Amino acid sequence: MSPGRLLALAVLVALAAAPFVPMGGMRQYVLHVVIQIFIWSFIGQAWSLMGRFGLVSLGHGAFLGVGAYTTTLLWNFYGLTPWLGVVAAVLLAMLLAFVVAYPCSRFGITGHYFALVTLAVGEVIRLLLIAERDWTGGSLGVTLRAPGSDASLLAIQYADKRVFYYGGLALWLAGLWVWARVDRSMARSAMEAIGEDETAAASVGIHVTRFKLGITMLSAGLTAIGGVAYAQYIAYVNPETLAGIGVSLRIVFAVVLGGMYVLLGPTVGTALTIALSEYLRVVFGVKFIGMAETIYGLLLVIFIIFLPAGIYGSVAALLRRRRVPAAAPA
Amino acid sequence: MLALHEVTAGYGHFTALWAVSLRVERGEAVAVVGPNGAGKTTLLRVISGVIAPRTGTLAFESTPLTGRPPHEVVARGIAHVPEGRRLFPALTVAENLRMGAFLPAARRTFAETLERVHALFPVLAERRQQRAGSLSGGEQQMLAIGRALMSRPKLILFDEPSMGLAPVMVLRLFDLIRKIREEGYTILIVEQNVRQVLKLVDRAYLLEVGRIRMEGRADELSEQDFVRKAYVGL
Ligand SMILES: Nc1ncnc2c1ncn2[C@@H]1O[C@H](COP(=O)(O)OP(=O)(O)O)[C@@H](O)[C@H]1O
Ligand SMILES: [Mg+2]
């Protein structure tokens, strides 16, 4: 077994055993932080599926919101289990992605203009959620209806955080798997070619619209699943945490920070941003609300200028460069 | 093999081609010459499906091609060496060639086609791992042609391949295109380098402000006719 695989296996075993390690009174808190890292890393991976090919979305909150509210409302109003609700959530998010991305692709709206369109879409969804307050509870949000005592599985609501911990772990691993699959596929070379020059890509026979739509809808569908997972875990949805500019930018910050071209980039970035905001919360309490956002913003600017490949991406590239001269025969 | 019938096309309200009719027979090499802005690039874009014609029809091997999207046109056997080469500059030479064989049918015969392209352009084999953007102009043009060959086309469209090349390189390039021709490919080439291109092709058309003004066998048309018409406008 290669050292890399061995390390991965060791990390997996440690992650699987973690909830049973004695941590004094800290267990609930640690689990809470790690669950969030799993879910938001998964969402970051979904975002980077587009971002790495130059499809920068500043409105992924729209897909999170569509996902989270779909399952929540279906459960609250019709008693439909989120296991089925998530199918509707994914389909709706993909439909929204299609409605946004198809005209953009047809009329050549790319780069900054595409980013601005998505930014607007994210805000529109947030405002819709606030406006439809009879259903959505407006800006106050909605709490997931509690299930009967024997219906935890049907409702995906558990008091024991360990259930969400393992669920989140599985979700995160599934996200890594999808990311790696795309990384090895023809879609990757097609998308790279499209990212470099759409006309040239078309001239070698790449169906530009199909690939762009495909990757956008995949990213949107996965993001909706992330939104559902978060809503189930917190058991409460709110337009500010699950739609709009704030959350959309936080996803982007995390991925840019960690690096969007490497498998573990989104995870490293998400872990760092969550750790940072937890730290700021503990140190400054609620005195400096908005402090985290300001620091993210500054970090983002610094990163885009000095470390465009992200922290993890740059370290990985550095290690690779170190290794190559040793390994390659001169 | 390729037939355009009264094709009109343009950009928005602007019309760049007016009722253009043109034929290319199997095994033939045909040139379209004309001054800047005549509509030569637009003509090739219509054939390769980047622009849909407003009116008129296109057919390839007796089946309609009108309004088909580029990926389908490539799959049917038409490769486009676009104006200004349009390589993927950040990808390596090898990766660019691989992208040329993107479609499933071409992917299946990838190794064999690559060998032929390397035999034709040995420099592409030497520079395999180099980024396309770091090649010289002539090498970039060879890569653009090599990439087009990777899709195993029957018809190759060349858009001003000599543009921006040093005179020595231009001669070499025309030699290479002649060689490609001898391998049995059908060729439609757009050029401003009238003298050189007339030595290469069987027939030629003169395109001027979007209309075909002259047409004939290359050996019957004197270069003077074309040059006078095309650039002096008489
Ligand atoms: N993308 C475009 N949008 C609008 N007009 C264009 C575009 N490309 C070319 N044109 C116009 O169409 C005409 C023909 O251009 P083109 O086909 O590039 O000519 P050529 O290749 O013969 O130099 C020119 O007047 C040019 O200005
Ligand atoms: Mg031109």
**How does pLDDT run along chain A (330 residues), one tens digit per residue?**
788 889 999 999 999 998 888 888 888 899 999 999 999 999 999 999 999 988 999 999 999 999 999 999 999 999 999 999 999 999 999 999 999 999 998 888 888 899 999 999 999 999 999 999 999 999 899 999 988 777 888 889 888 899 999 999 999 999 999 999 999 888 888 888 888 888 889 888 899 899 999 999 999 999 999 999 999 999 999 998 899 888 998 899 899 888 988 999 999 999 998 988 888 777 777 666 667 667 777 877 787 777 777 777 787 777 776 654 443 333
Q: Is there a domain that residue B53 lies in?
A: no
B70 contact residues in A (CB cutoff 8 A): 202-203, 205
Q: What is the rounded distance in angstroms from the CA atom of residue B184 to the CA atom of residue B200?
A: 14
Residues 6+ apart with CB under 8 A from B27: B184, B186
Q: What is the rounded distance in angstroms from the CA atom of residue B19 to the CA atom of residue B11?
A: 15
A67 C-alpha to ligand 2 centroid (Å): 48
Structure letter (DSSP) for residue B132:
G
Residue A325: predicted pLDDT:
46
Q: What angle do CA B198, B201, B206 make, to 5 degrees?
A: 60
Structure letter (DSSP) for residue B183:
T
Q: Is there a domain that residue B37 lies in?
A: yes
Q: What is the rounded distance in angstroms from the CA atom of residue B48 to the CA atom of residue A201?
A: 12
> Smallest CA–CA separation between B223 and chain A, in Å?
32
Q: What is the rounded distance in angstroms from the CA atom of residue B7 to the CA atom of residue B47?
A: 10
143-172 of B, contacting A, C-beta below 8 A: 147-148, 150-151
Q: What is the rounded distance in angstroms from the CA atom of residue B25 to the CA atom of residue B71?
A: 23
**Helix H or strand E segment including B57:** strand B55-60
**In the numeric block, which tokens belong to residue A157?**
């609501």
CA torsion angle A287 A288 A289 A293 (round to 10): -170
Number of other CB atoms surrounding residue B153 within 10 Å: 20
Res. B111: pLDDT tops 70: yes
User: What is the CB < 6 Å shell around ligand 1?
Assistant: B 11, 14, 16, 34, 36-42
Q: What is the rounded distance in angstroms from the CA atom of residue B114 to the CA atom of residue A238?
A: 56
A192 contact residues in B (CB cutoff 8 A): 88, 91
A196 contact residues in B (CB cutoff 8 A): 88-91
Containing structural domain, residue B184: 27-44+75-232
Q: Say what the ipTM of the complex is.
A: 0.79
The region of weakest confidence among A266-270, B34-38, B143-147 is: B34-38
**In the numeric block, which tokens belong to residue A144?**
């997931």
**In the numeric block, which tokens belong to residue B50?**
């980047």
Domain residue ranges in chain A: 31-242
Domain count, chain B: 1
Strands A236-237 and A142-143: antiparallel
A202 C-alpha to ligand 2 centroid (Å): 18
Residue A329: predicted pLDDT:
39
Residue A268: predicted pLDDT:
94
Burial class of residue A146 in the structure, from the number of CB atoms within 10 Å of its CB (0-12 exposed, 13-18 middle, 19+ buried)? exposed
pLDDT grade, residue B100 (50/70/90)? very high
B215 C-alpha to ligand 2 centroid (Å): 19
A249 C-alpha to ligand 2 centroid (Å): 42
- The closest residue, in CA terms, to atom 25 on ligand 1 is B37
Question: Do the Cβ atoms of A259 and A244 come closer than 8 Å?
Answer: no
Tell me how far apart the 2 most distant CA atoms of chain A are, in Å. 71
> Smallest CA–CA separation between B197 and chain A, in Å?
24
CATH number at residue B114: 3.40.50.300
pLDDT grade, residue B126 (50/70/90)? very high
Res. B226: pLDDT tops 70: no
Q: What is the rounded distance in angstroms from the CA atom of residue A316 to the CA atom of residue A310?
A: 10
> Smallest CA–CA separation between A60 and chain B, in Å?
28
Cβ distance B102 to A206 less than 8 Å, yes or no, reads yes
Q: Could you tell me the pTM of the whole model?
A: 0.82
Residue A132: predicted pLDDT:
93
Residues 6+ apart with CB under 8 A from A169: A15, A16, A38
Q: Is there a domain that residue B160 lies in?
A: yes
Burial class of residue B129 in the structure, from the number of CB atoms within 10 Å of its CB (0-12 exposed, 13-18 middle, 19+ buried)? exposed
Instruction: State whether residue B56 is helix, strand or coil.
Output: strand
Question: Do the Cβ atoms of B195 and B161 come closer than 8 Å?
Answer: no
> Smallest CA–CA separation between B103 and chain A, in Å?
6
* Best of B42, B81, B159 for a ligand 1 pocket test (most atoms within 8 Å of beta carbon): B42
Residue A166: predicted pLDDT:
96
Question: How many percent of chain B have pLDDT more than 70?
Answer: 94
* Ligand having the closest approach to the CA of B82: 2
Mutating which of A188, A191, A203 best tests the B interface, going by the most B Cβ atoms within 10 A? Answer: A203
Instruction: State whether residue A285 is helix, strand or coil.
Output: coil
CA count, 13 A, side-chain hemisphere, B8 = 8
Handedness of CA A60, A61, A62, A68 (dihedral sign): positive
Residue A70: predicted pLDDT:
97
Cβ distance A202 to B70 less than 8 Å, yes or no, reads yes
Q: What is the rounded distance in angstroms from the CA atom of residue A166 to the CA atom of residue A153?
A: 14
Q: Is there a domain that residue B2 lies in?
A: no
Q: How many CB pairs under 8 A join A and B?
A: 58
Residue A327: predicted pLDDT:
39
